[in-house]
Amino acid sequence: MLQYLEQVALRLGLQPEALLAIGVGFGVLLLAIGLVTALRRPDPAVARIAAISRTRQQQRRDRMFLLPAERGPGTLMKAFVPSEKEKRSSLQRKLMQAGLTRPDAIQIYTLVRVGLAMGLPVTFLALLYLARMSDTILPAGLTQTLVGFSTLRVYQILSVLLAIGYFVPTYWLESRVKARKLRIEEGFPNALDLIQVSIEAGLGFDAAMTRVANELKRVSPEISQEFLTVQYQVQAGRPRDAAMRDMADRVGLESIRSFANVVQQSIRFGTSMSQAMTTYADELRQTRELRAQEMANKLPVKMSAVMASLMLPALIMMTIGPVVIRYLRQF
């Protein structure tokens, strides 16, 4: 680090001590500005403008609940985005299950994959080129490491970087989908209880669903987003059964699909919505409890191999060790 600082100071025509003093002074100046900004009372006009901006942002977020119709890829994106509608719809559904509901989510996701797949190898080649130049600004250790790579090693590293850049976004998307499904599955019975209480208090199903969605914005934002999306679509004139089916497709959970069927059957046949919500919430809790018991019952079987591999050598040493020691002492 000191050698690098001396090289930079020589390039700028300064002494290393002077360059270090300039850096420390600049850091202290930034710290002072940050403290003054944090402790200063906000301007009323700025606060009022910020409040107006937050209101407009909320209105834009509300409009985003009304998802636009699916559009095919543009001229420049046809080379990267799947041209088949089935593959594109599958990718769009996966992105929605991850909570990425922007109209251009497919294009952004595809560009990120292609950019990483091309950017990582290009970055490595750029570092390799700078390392092999006579006049370089890279650290000495990194330069020696890059220069020592053979041609075969360079090809191997490029292949690995290409695979990492292309497949890591897919792994990230899958992990995000699983995490979002788990959060929705854990909080959905409580949301049904709140809907049941709201209906018993005299609200209709749509009003109860909207009220619960507004109440769950901080506790369970995923469920709140899905409920508000359904209600905004219904208010825009879309049939409720279609909006509920879309919610089930966006979430990708069988419990949400069953909830949509329960709601439609209760509305169609005129049964008690409150009783239906209570019964279905109890079933979801029982299912979750049975799943937890199943995982607990599998735990001893999974631990047996680990316990055997760790405890068996110790038991063998304790039982056979003294015999071996006595045998060795006789010779």
pLDDT in tens, 157-169: 888 888 888 888 8
Q: For the residues 18-23, what does the mean pLDDT come to?
A: 71
Using alpha carbons only, give the angle 10, 11, 12 rounded to the nearest 5 degrees.
90
pLDDT at 81 over 80: no
**Distance of alpha carbon 203 from alpha carbon 193, whole angstroms:** 14
4-11 contact pairs (CB < 8 A, 24+): 4/139, 7/137
Least confidently predicted of 70-84, 205-219, 231-245, 303-317: 70-84
pTM value? Answer: 0.64
Q: What is the pLDDT of residue 281?
A: 80
Amino acid at 62: D
**Distance of alpha carbon 174 from alpha carbon 24, whole angstroms:** 44
Q: 247, 226 in Cβ contact below 8 A?
A: yes
pLDDT at 329 over 70: yes
Q: What is the pLDDT of residue 191?
A: 86
Burial of 120 (0-12, 13-18, 19+ CB in 10 A): buried
Q: For the residues 33-52, what does the mean pLDDT come to?
A: 62
Using alpha carbons only, give the angle 265, 268, 274 rounded to the nearest 5 degrees.
60
> What pLDDT band is residue 53 in, cutting at 50, 70 and 90?
low
> What pLDDT band is residue 247 in, cutting at 50, 70 and 90?
confident
Q: What is the pLDDT of residue 307?
A: 77
**Distance of alpha carbon 230 from alpha carbon 210, whole angstroms:** 9
DSSP 72: -
Comparing 215 with 24, the larger pLDDT belongs to: 215
So where are the chain's domains? 194-288
**Distance of alpha carbon 320 from alpha carbon 331, whole angstroms:** 18
pLDDT at 73 over 60: no
Q: What is the pLDDT of residue 57?
A: 55
Rg (CA), the chain: 31
Instruction: Please state the φ and ψ torsions of residue 247, each to the nearest 5 degrees.
Output: -65, -40
Helices (H), the chain: 2-12, 16-39, 44-64, 85-97, 105-131, 140-147, 151-200, 205-215, 221-235, 240-251, 254-269, 273-329
Least confidently predicted of 70-74, 225-229, 264-268: 70-74
Q: 223, 187 in Cβ contact below 8 A?
A: yes
- Average pLDDT taken over every residue of the chain: 78
Q: What is the pLDDT of residue 194?
A: 87
Q: What is the pLDDT of residue 304?
A: 80
Count of CB atoms situated within 10 Å of the CB of 73: 16
Q: What is the pLDDT of residue 130?
A: 78
Q: What is the pLDDT of residue 218?
A: 87
Q: For the residues 25-38, what does the mean pLDDT come to?
A: 74
pLDDT at 259 over 80: yes
